[in-house]
Structure 1
Amino acid sequence: MTVPATLQASLETLLGDARLVAETLPGTDLRLWLIDANNMDRAFSPEETRRILEEPPYWCFCWASGLVLARWLADHPEWVRGKRVLDFGSGSGVAAIAAAKAGALEVVACDLDPVALDACRANAALNGVTLSYSPDFFAEADRFDLIIVADVLYDRANLPLLDHFLSRGRQALVADSRVRDFQHPLYQRLDLLEACTWPDLAEPAEFRHVSLYHARRE
């Protein structure tokens, strides 16, 4: 299996010795191109740390909330079956791919980062699904049945996005491990689930508990 050249090159600009490997995610039948866990076992130089902080390669990890959302959609395909779905802040594309495999009519992977969209394309091919792609959520029409979101509310300054999600979709399904209580009148917590980022970053235990919220437009 050939590693996607553009993704490998992007990763090497950050960490010269880093490699991508096709990993099967725990508890799923999904595979993603992710950073080799062996690359995380060494200390990073100050210059590498600076580059990682300036341009975090979110797309080469499957974050805990994305993994939870993907598992949820596999277990509850009725949420997406036959529906038009947009995955906001797709990153690796894990939630978008899970929605496609669960029978969504259309899935748009949306991310500002062009490298993330390349990762979504490569990962969609790896899983044998077809996605559409968008670099600009606000350029999309209000035509979606469901907006799915994982790991984008890590900063409370991003909470206004909760209203924007419902400007493009009738419903929103949001998974997050950082914000415990949205305190938003339209969002109700469906479940509290557990997962870890893959490859495992040894994050604090609190970040392995993922809240899943649902909202319906009034």
Structure 2
Amino acid sequence: MSAPAALQQALSALLGDAQLSAETLPGTDIKLWLIDANNMHRAFSPEETRRILEEPPYWCFCWASGLVLARWLAQNPQWVHGKRVLDFGAGSGVAAIAAAKAGALEVVACDLDPLALEACKANAALNDVELSYSADFFAEADRFDLIIVADVLYDRANLPLLDQFLSRGRQALVADSRVRDFQHPLYQRLGMLEACTWPDLAEPAEFRHVSLYFAERT
């Protein structure tokens, strides 16, 4: 199976020898187009490092929080079954795909990055699910039952988004492994689960502990 041409081209522009491959995520039945792990075993040149930092290819990894959220939805389909769901900062689309597979009535994958939306489309096709797509969360109507979010709070400047999620959905489910002192009056922690980014980036152990938070609009 050949990787989607536009995504492979974008990845090659960052890392000349990098290849996308269709991988089944551990502990799930979801397949994603991800960077081949063999490409991660060499040192990057200064120019490659600069390009990666300027345009990080978030969409070609499945980050730990996304993997946890996907597994959670598979094990707890009642969270999304028959509901209208928006995946904020969708990246590869892993959480959106999990919601669709768990029986959501509608799933919108939302991301500012056009390449991320291309990855979502390719990954939805890989998993034989139907998604809708949006590049602007704030252009969406307040019509969603649930906003799902993974790996968005890596920058503390994004914390005000916690209030915004409830401006478009009645409920929000947030997976995060980066903000250790995440406190918000509307959000309660449901628990902590463990996963690693795929392919494995050998991140510090602390980033393998993913907290799930839930909020409901009053």
Q: TM-score per shorter chain, which class?
A: over 0.9
Tell me which residue corresponds to 1:215: 215
Query: What are the equivalent positions in structure 2 for 1:55-74 lying under 5 Å apart?
Result: 55-74=55-74
1:118, 1:38 → 2: CA distance? Answer: 23
1:187, 1:117 → 2: CA distance? Answer: 28
Tell me which residue corresponds to 2:195: 195
Name the SS of the counterpart of 2:28 in structure 1: coil
Question: Which ranges of 4 or more aligned residues in structure 1 deviate by more than 4 Å?
Answer: none
CA deviation vs aligned residue, 1:122-142 (integer Å, no higher than 9, x gap): 000000000000000000000
Structure 2 unaligned spans of 5+ = none
* Deviation for aligned residue 1:183: 1.2
Name the SS of the counterpart of 2:18 in structure 1: coil
Query: What are the equivalent positions in structure 2 for 1:1-218 lying under 5 Å apart?
Result: 1-218=1-218
CA deviation vs aligned residue, 1:131-182 (integer Å, no higher than 9, x gap): 0000000000000000000000001111000000000000000000001232
1:156, 1:2 → 2: CA distance? Answer: 38
Name the SS of the counterpart of 1:53 in structure 2: helix
Contact 1:180 1:211 in 2 (8 A): no
Contact 1:93 1:119 in 2 (8 A): yes
* Deviation for aligned residue 1:2: 1.8
Name the SS of the counterpart of 1:147 in structure 2: strand
Structure 1 unaligned spans of 5+ = none
Name the SS of the counterpart of 1:44 in structure 2: coil
1:2, 1:17 → 2: CA distance? Answer: 16
1:211, 1:74 → 2: CA distance? Answer: 17
Name the SS of the counterpart of 1:100 in structure 2: helix
- TM-score, structure 2 as length reference: 0.99
Percent identity over the alignment is 87
Contact 1:20 1:33 in 2 (8 A): yes
Letter in 2 for 1:140: E
Please, what is the CA RMSD of the aligned residues? Answer: 0.4
